[in-house]
Amino acid sequence: MIFFVLRRSIFGILLLLIISAFTFWIFSALPSDPAALTCGKNCRPEVIEANRERLGYDKPLIEQYGSYMKGIFTGRTYGEEGAAVHCPAPSLGYSYDRHECVTSLIASTLPVTASIALGAFVLWMAIGVGLGTLAALKRGKWQDRVATAFSVIGVSLPTFFLGLIFIMVFVIWTGILPFPRYVGLTDNPFEWFMALILPWLVLAIISAATYVRMTRNGILEVMNEEFVRLGLAKGLPRRRLIVRYVLRAALVPIVTIAGLDFAFLLGGALVTESIFNMPGLGKLTLAAVVNSDLPILVATTMVAAVFIVVANTVVDILYGYLDPRVRVK
Protein backbone atom coordinates (compact mmCIF):
# COMPACT_ATOMS: atom_id res chain seq x y z
CA MET A 1 0.00 0.00 0.00
CA ILE A 2 2.90 2.38 0.74
CA PHE A 3 4.35 1.96 -2.76
CA PHE A 4 0.87 2.39 -4.22
CA VAL A 5 0.44 5.74 -2.41
CA LEU A 6 3.97 6.83 -3.36
CA ARG A 7 3.44 6.03 -7.02
CA ARG A 8 0.17 7.95 -7.17
CA SER A 9 1.69 10.95 -5.34
CA ILE A 10 4.67 11.17 -7.71
CA PHE A 11 2.37 10.93 -10.70
CA GLY A 12 0.23 13.76 -9.25
CA ILE A 13 3.28 16.04 -8.84
CA LEU A 14 4.42 15.41 -12.42
CA LEU A 15 0.92 16.09 -13.69
CA LEU A 16 0.81 19.40 -11.81
CA LEU A 17 4.09 20.50 -13.43
CA ILE A 18 2.71 19.69 -16.89
CA ILE A 19 -0.54 21.53 -16.16
CA SER A 20 1.30 24.60 -14.85
CA ALA A 21 3.48 24.81 -17.97
CA PHE A 22 0.50 24.33 -20.28
CA THR A 23 -1.60 26.90 -18.39
CA PHE A 24 1.20 29.47 -18.48
CA TRP A 25 1.66 28.93 -22.22
CA ILE A 26 -2.08 29.16 -23.00
CA PHE A 27 -2.53 32.51 -21.21
CA SER A 28 0.67 33.92 -22.73
CA ALA A 29 -0.77 33.18 -26.17
CA LEU A 30 -3.85 35.33 -25.57
CA PRO A 31 -4.10 38.53 -27.65
CA SER A 32 -4.27 40.68 -24.49
CA ASP A 33 -1.03 42.53 -23.74
CA PRO A 34 -0.27 42.28 -19.99
CA ALA A 35 2.05 45.29 -20.20
CA ALA A 36 -0.72 47.45 -21.71
CA LEU A 37 -3.06 46.48 -18.88
CA THR A 38 -0.72 47.97 -16.27
CA CYS A 39 -1.58 51.54 -17.26
CA GLY A 40 -4.60 53.48 -18.48
CA LYS A 41 -6.28 53.31 -21.88
CA ASN A 42 -4.42 56.42 -23.04
CA CYS A 43 -1.01 54.95 -22.20
CA ARG A 44 1.70 55.83 -24.73
CA PRO A 45 3.49 53.03 -26.66
CA GLU A 46 6.87 53.91 -25.12
CA VAL A 47 5.40 53.58 -21.60
CA ILE A 48 3.91 50.19 -22.49
CA GLU A 49 7.26 49.03 -23.81
CA ALA A 50 9.00 50.24 -20.66
CA ASN A 51 6.45 48.38 -18.56
CA ARG A 52 7.03 45.25 -20.63
CA GLU A 53 10.76 45.35 -19.93
CA ARG A 54 10.26 46.25 -16.26
CA LEU A 55 7.89 43.32 -15.69
CA GLY A 56 9.95 40.83 -17.68
CA TYR A 57 7.39 40.24 -20.44
CA ASP A 58 10.09 40.94 -23.06
CA LYS A 59 12.01 37.81 -22.01
CA PRO A 60 11.56 34.38 -23.63
CA LEU A 61 8.54 32.42 -22.48
CA ILE A 62 10.64 29.69 -20.87
CA GLU A 63 12.48 32.28 -18.80
CA GLN A 64 9.18 33.87 -17.76
CA TYR A 65 7.85 30.46 -16.73
CA GLY A 66 11.04 29.77 -14.76
CA SER A 67 10.69 33.07 -12.88
CA TYR A 68 7.03 32.33 -12.17
CA MET A 69 7.77 28.86 -10.78
CA LYS A 70 10.70 30.19 -8.76
CA GLY A 71 8.40 32.81 -7.24
CA ILE A 72 6.09 30.07 -5.97
CA PHE A 73 8.89 28.66 -3.81
CA THR A 74 10.97 31.75 -2.99
CA GLY A 75 8.73 34.76 -3.56
CA ARG A 76 9.09 37.42 -6.21
CA THR A 77 9.58 41.19 -6.52
CA TYR A 78 7.56 43.04 -9.15
CA GLY A 79 8.63 46.44 -10.48
CA GLU A 80 11.75 48.53 -10.06
CA GLU A 81 13.36 49.96 -6.96
CA GLY A 82 11.29 52.67 -5.36
CA ALA A 83 8.06 51.28 -6.82
CA ALA A 84 8.84 47.62 -6.28
CA VAL A 85 6.32 45.28 -4.67
CA HIS A 86 7.48 42.06 -3.06
CA CYS A 87 5.09 39.10 -2.94
CA PRO A 88 6.28 36.43 -0.49
CA ALA A 89 6.21 32.75 -1.30
CA PRO A 90 4.10 31.24 -2.62
CA SER A 91 3.89 34.07 -5.15
CA LEU A 92 1.26 33.49 -7.85
CA GLY A 93 1.68 36.86 -9.51
CA TYR A 94 0.76 40.49 -8.97
CA SER A 95 -2.52 42.07 -10.06
CA TYR A 96 -1.88 45.55 -11.45
CA ASP A 97 -5.62 46.05 -11.78
CA ARG A 98 -6.18 45.54 -8.03
CA HIS A 99 -2.64 46.54 -6.97
CA GLU A 100 -2.30 43.48 -4.75
CA CYS A 101 -0.45 40.18 -4.69
CA VAL A 102 -2.57 37.44 -6.24
CA THR A 103 -1.75 35.08 -3.39
CA SER A 104 -3.32 37.52 -0.93
CA LEU A 105 -6.46 37.75 -3.07
CA ILE A 106 -6.76 33.97 -3.23
CA ALA A 107 -6.07 33.63 0.49
CA SER A 108 -8.93 36.03 1.26
CA THR A 109 -11.43 34.34 -1.06
CA LEU A 110 -10.50 30.67 -0.59
CA PRO A 111 -12.08 30.35 2.91
CA VAL A 112 -15.42 31.47 1.43
CA THR A 113 -15.28 28.89 -1.35
CA ALA A 114 -14.00 26.20 1.02
CA SER A 115 -16.88 26.90 3.42
CA ILE A 116 -19.43 26.58 0.63
CA ALA A 117 -17.80 23.47 -0.83
CA LEU A 118 -17.33 21.60 2.44
CA GLY A 119 -20.83 22.23 3.77
CA ALA A 120 -22.49 21.39 0.45
CA PHE A 121 -20.35 18.25 0.10
CA VAL A 122 -21.37 16.91 3.51
CA LEU A 123 -25.04 17.64 2.78
CA TRP A 124 -25.18 16.14 -0.69
CA MET A 125 -23.31 13.00 0.37
CA ALA A 126 -25.62 12.49 3.36
CA ILE A 127 -28.76 13.12 1.28
CA GLY A 128 -27.58 11.31 -1.84
CA VAL A 129 -26.16 8.17 -0.23
CA GLY A 130 -28.90 8.07 2.42
CA LEU A 131 -31.81 8.38 -0.01
CA GLY A 132 -30.12 6.08 -2.53
CA THR A 133 -29.64 3.38 0.10
CA LEU A 134 -33.23 3.76 1.29
CA ALA A 135 -34.53 3.55 -2.28
CA ALA A 136 -32.53 0.37 -2.94
CA LEU A 137 -33.64 -1.35 0.27
CA LYS A 138 -37.29 -0.31 -0.32
CA ARG A 139 -37.29 -1.04 -4.03
CA GLY A 140 -40.72 -0.59 -5.62
CA LYS A 141 -42.23 1.00 -2.51
CA TRP A 142 -43.21 4.63 -1.88
CA GLN A 143 -39.74 5.44 -0.47
CA ASP A 144 -38.20 4.38 -3.77
CA ARG A 145 -40.64 6.50 -5.77
CA VAL A 146 -40.02 9.58 -3.60
CA ALA A 147 -36.23 9.20 -3.97
CA THR A 148 -36.57 8.75 -7.73
CA ALA A 149 -38.78 11.84 -8.01
CA PHE A 150 -36.25 13.85 -5.97
CA SER A 151 -33.48 12.67 -8.27
CA VAL A 152 -35.33 13.67 -11.45
CA ILE A 153 -36.31 17.09 -10.09
CA GLY A 154 -32.81 17.81 -8.78
CA VAL A 155 -31.14 16.94 -12.08
CA SER A 156 -33.64 19.06 -14.03
CA LEU A 157 -33.21 22.30 -12.06
CA PRO A 158 -30.36 24.68 -13.04
CA THR A 159 -28.32 26.15 -10.21
CA PHE A 160 -29.26 29.77 -10.93
CA PHE A 161 -32.98 28.95 -11.10
CA LEU A 162 -33.04 27.04 -7.82
CA GLY A 163 -30.95 29.74 -6.15
CA LEU A 164 -33.36 32.49 -7.22
CA ILE A 165 -36.36 30.41 -6.09
CA PHE A 166 -34.80 29.93 -2.67
CA ILE A 167 -34.09 33.65 -2.33
CA MET A 168 -37.69 34.50 -3.26
CA VAL A 169 -39.21 31.93 -0.89
CA PHE A 170 -36.95 32.05 2.16
CA VAL A 171 -35.72 35.66 2.02
CA ILE A 172 -38.28 37.84 0.25
CA TRP A 173 -41.66 36.13 0.81
CA THR A 174 -41.35 34.46 4.20
CA GLY A 175 -38.37 36.33 5.68
CA ILE A 176 -37.22 33.13 7.43
CA LEU A 177 -33.61 33.77 6.43
CA PRO A 178 -31.69 37.02 5.90
CA PHE A 179 -30.12 37.65 2.54
CA PRO A 180 -26.75 35.84 2.54
CA ARG A 181 -23.92 38.13 3.64
CA TYR A 182 -20.72 36.26 4.27
CA VAL A 183 -19.06 36.72 7.64
CA GLY A 184 -15.94 34.87 8.72
CA LEU A 185 -16.38 31.82 10.92
CA THR A 186 -14.13 33.24 13.62
CA ASP A 187 -15.89 36.63 13.51
CA ASN A 188 -19.43 35.39 14.08
CA PRO A 189 -20.15 31.64 13.77
CA PHE A 190 -23.93 32.10 13.81
CA GLU A 191 -23.97 34.68 10.99
CA TRP A 192 -21.47 32.54 9.07
CA PHE A 193 -23.82 29.59 9.30
CA MET A 194 -26.92 31.60 8.38
CA ALA A 195 -25.20 33.12 5.35
CA LEU A 196 -24.24 29.70 3.98
CA ILE A 197 -27.51 27.80 4.48
CA LEU A 198 -28.99 28.73 1.10
CA PRO A 199 -25.80 28.11 -0.97
CA TRP A 200 -25.38 24.76 0.79
CA LEU A 201 -28.96 23.73 0.09
CA VAL A 202 -28.84 24.74 -3.57
CA LEU A 203 -25.64 22.85 -4.30
CA ALA A 204 -26.63 19.88 -2.14
CA ILE A 205 -30.02 19.37 -3.81
CA ILE A 206 -28.63 19.58 -7.32
CA SER A 207 -25.61 17.37 -6.64
CA ALA A 208 -27.40 14.85 -4.41
CA ALA A 209 -29.79 13.99 -7.24
CA THR A 210 -27.01 12.23 -9.12
CA TYR A 211 -25.80 10.37 -6.02
CA VAL A 212 -29.28 9.03 -5.26
CA ARG A 213 -29.41 7.25 -8.60
CA MET A 214 -25.80 6.05 -8.44
CA THR A 215 -26.14 4.70 -4.89
CA ARG A 216 -29.45 2.98 -5.62
CA ASN A 217 -28.20 1.31 -8.79
CA GLY A 218 -24.88 0.36 -7.20
CA ILE A 219 -26.48 -1.29 -4.15
CA LEU A 220 -29.02 -3.17 -6.27
CA GLU A 221 -26.23 -4.43 -8.50
CA VAL A 222 -24.09 -5.58 -5.57
CA MET A 223 -27.10 -7.21 -3.87
CA ASN A 224 -27.32 -9.61 -6.83
CA GLU A 225 -23.73 -10.79 -6.37
CA GLU A 226 -23.10 -14.34 -5.24
CA PHE A 227 -21.24 -13.38 -2.05
CA VAL A 228 -24.32 -11.51 -0.80
CA ARG A 229 -26.60 -14.49 -1.33
CA LEU A 230 -24.01 -16.72 0.29
CA GLY A 231 -23.79 -14.44 3.34
CA LEU A 232 -27.57 -14.40 3.75
CA ALA A 233 -27.71 -18.19 3.34
CA LYS A 234 -25.14 -18.64 6.12
CA GLY A 235 -27.19 -16.51 8.49
CA LEU A 236 -25.16 -13.30 8.42
CA PRO A 237 -27.34 -10.41 9.72
CA ARG A 238 -28.73 -8.42 6.79
CA ARG A 239 -27.87 -5.03 8.32
CA ARG A 240 -24.25 -6.05 8.93
CA LEU A 241 -23.98 -7.50 5.44
CA ILE A 242 -25.25 -4.29 3.84
CA VAL A 243 -23.20 -1.87 5.95
CA ARG A 244 -19.92 -3.80 5.94
CA TYR A 245 -19.87 -5.39 2.48
CA VAL A 246 -22.57 -4.12 0.12
CA LEU A 247 -22.08 -0.41 0.79
CA ARG A 248 -18.29 -0.71 0.60
CA ALA A 249 -18.51 -2.33 -2.84
CA ALA A 250 -21.19 0.10 -4.07
CA LEU A 251 -19.23 3.19 -2.95
CA VAL A 252 -16.28 2.56 -5.31
CA PRO A 253 -17.76 4.44 -8.33
CA ILE A 254 -19.34 7.05 -6.03
CA VAL A 255 -15.93 7.94 -4.55
CA THR A 256 -14.67 8.92 -8.01
CA ILE A 257 -17.52 11.30 -8.74
CA ALA A 258 -17.55 12.71 -5.20
CA GLY A 259 -13.83 13.54 -5.25
CA LEU A 260 -14.02 15.30 -8.60
CA ASP A 261 -17.21 17.19 -7.73
CA PHE A 262 -15.68 18.44 -4.49
CA ALA A 263 -12.47 19.50 -6.29
CA PHE A 264 -14.40 21.39 -8.97
CA LEU A 265 -16.41 23.12 -6.27
CA LEU A 266 -13.22 24.15 -4.46
CA GLY A 267 -12.06 25.72 -7.72
CA GLY A 268 -14.94 28.17 -7.42
CA ALA A 269 -18.72 27.78 -7.49
CA LEU A 270 -19.06 30.64 -9.95
CA VAL A 271 -22.84 30.65 -10.44
CA THR A 272 -23.69 30.05 -6.78
CA GLU A 273 -21.25 32.68 -5.52
CA SER A 274 -22.61 35.21 -8.01
CA ILE A 275 -26.26 34.58 -7.09
CA PHE A 276 -25.68 34.85 -3.34
CA ASN A 277 -22.99 37.56 -3.62
CA MET A 278 -20.31 35.43 -1.95
CA PRO A 279 -16.76 36.82 -2.28
CA GLY A 280 -15.20 33.48 -3.24
CA LEU A 281 -12.80 32.19 -5.89
CA GLY A 282 -15.53 31.93 -8.50
CA LYS A 283 -16.49 35.58 -8.16
CA LEU A 284 -12.81 36.59 -8.18
CA THR A 285 -12.29 34.65 -11.41
CA LEU A 286 -15.36 36.21 -13.03
CA ALA A 287 -14.12 39.71 -12.19
CA ALA A 288 -10.69 38.83 -13.60
CA VAL A 289 -12.29 37.71 -16.87
CA VAL A 290 -14.25 40.96 -17.16
CA ASN A 291 -11.16 43.09 -16.41
CA SER A 292 -8.71 40.89 -18.40
CA ASP A 293 -6.63 40.45 -15.25
CA LEU A 294 -4.32 37.72 -16.56
CA PRO A 295 -2.25 37.12 -13.38
CA ILE A 296 -5.44 36.30 -11.43
CA LEU A 297 -6.74 34.09 -14.24
CA VAL A 298 -3.49 32.11 -14.37
CA ALA A 299 -3.41 31.73 -10.59
CA THR A 300 -7.04 30.66 -10.15
CA THR A 301 -6.72 28.18 -13.02
CA MET A 302 -3.64 26.64 -11.43
CA VAL A 303 -5.27 26.54 -7.98
CA ALA A 304 -8.31 24.75 -9.44
CA ALA A 305 -5.97 22.32 -11.22
CA VAL A 306 -4.19 21.59 -7.94
CA PHE A 307 -7.50 20.75 -6.26
CA ILE A 308 -8.52 18.43 -9.10
CA VAL A 309 -5.17 16.61 -9.27
CA VAL A 310 -5.03 16.22 -5.49
CA ALA A 311 -8.63 14.94 -5.49
CA ASN A 312 -7.75 12.40 -8.20
CA THR A 313 -4.75 11.23 -6.18
CA VAL A 314 -6.84 10.85 -3.03
CA VAL A 315 -9.51 8.97 -5.00
CA ASP A 316 -6.88 6.57 -6.38
CA ILE A 317 -5.62 5.93 -2.85
CA LEU A 318 -9.17 5.36 -1.58
CA TYR A 319 -9.67 2.91 -4.45
CA GLY A 320 -6.76 0.92 -3.09
CA TYR A 321 -8.40 0.87 0.33
CA LEU A 322 -11.93 0.04 -0.84
CA ASP A 323 -10.89 -2.48 -3.47
CA PRO A 324 -7.45 -4.11 -3.01
CA ARG A 325 -7.63 -5.47 -6.56
CA VAL A 326 -6.67 -2.05 -7.96
CA ARG A 327 -3.33 -2.04 -6.15
CA VAL A 328 -0.75 -2.78 -8.82
CA LYS A 329 2.32 -4.58 -7.48
Residue-wise pLDDT tens digits, 315-327: 877 776 666 665 5
Residues 35 and 57: beta-carbon distance below 8 Å: yes
Report in angstroms the alpha-carbon separations of 27 from 245, 293, 299. 48, 11, 11
Report in angstroms the alpha-carbon separations of 219 from 212, 223, 231, 265. 11, 6, 15, 26
- Stretch among 10-19, 119-128, 221-230 having the lowest mean pLDDT: 221-230
- Stretch among 28-32, 301-305, 309-313 having the lowest mean pLDDT: 28-32
Mean pLDDT of 88-95: 87
- Answer yes or no: is pLDDT of 170 > 60: yes
Residues 89 and 73: beta-carbon distance below 8 Å: yes
Instruction: Give pLDDT, residue 11.
Output: 84
Mean pLDDT of 235-257: 80
Print burial letters for 294-319: b (CB count within 10 Å at least 16), e (below 16). Answer: bbbbbbbbbbbbbbbbbbbbbbbbbb
Instruction: Give pLDDT, residue 252.
Output: 77
Instruction: Find residue 78's DSSP bridge partners.
Output: 85
Q: Domains, the chain, ranges and CATH?
A: 2-101 (no CATH), 103-326 (1.10.3720.10)
Instruction: Give pLDDT, residue 103.
Output: 92
Instruction: Give pLDDT, residue 1.
Output: 65
Residues 253 and 315: beta-carbon distance below 8 Å: no
Strand 94-95 relative to strand 100-101, pairing: antiparallel
Instruction: Give pLDDT, residue 16.
Output: 86
- Stretch among 42-51, 189-198, 294-303 having the lowest mean pLDDT: 42-51
Select the more confidently predicted residue: 239 or 107: 107
Instruction: Find residue 87's DSSP bridge partners.
Output: 76
- Answer yes or no: is pLDDT of 161 > 80: yes
Q: Write the Ramachandran bin of 277: left for phi over 0, alpha for psi from -120 to 50, otherwise beta.
A: left
Instruction: Give pLDDT, residue 316.
Output: 76
pTM of the model: 0.84
Percent of the chain with pLDDT over 70: 92
Element (H, E) at 264: helix 247-266
DSSP tag of 177: S
Select the more confidently predicted residue: 27 or 66: 66
- Answer yes or no: is pLDDT of 54 > 80: no
Residue 95 phi, psi (nearest 5):
-90, 110
For helices 2-28 and 61-74, the axis angle rounded to 10 degrees is 130
The top-scoring range by mean pLDDT among 103-112, 230-239, 257-266 is 103-112
- Averaged confidence pLDDT in the chain: 84
- Answer yes or no: is pLDDT of 245 > 60: yes
Instruction: Give pLDDT, residue 320.
Output: 67
- pLDDT category, 269, cuts 50, 70, 90? confident
- Answer yes or no: is pLDDT of 189 > 70: yes
In tens, the pLDDT along 109-126 reads 999 999 999 999 999 999
- pLDDT category, 169, cuts 50, 70, 90? very high
- pLDDT category, 90, cuts 50, 70, 90? confident
- Answer yes or no: is pLDDT of 83 > 80: no
Mean pLDDT of 306-320: 80
- Answer yes or no: is pLDDT of 200 > 90: yes
- Answer yes or no: is pLDDT of 202 > 80: yes
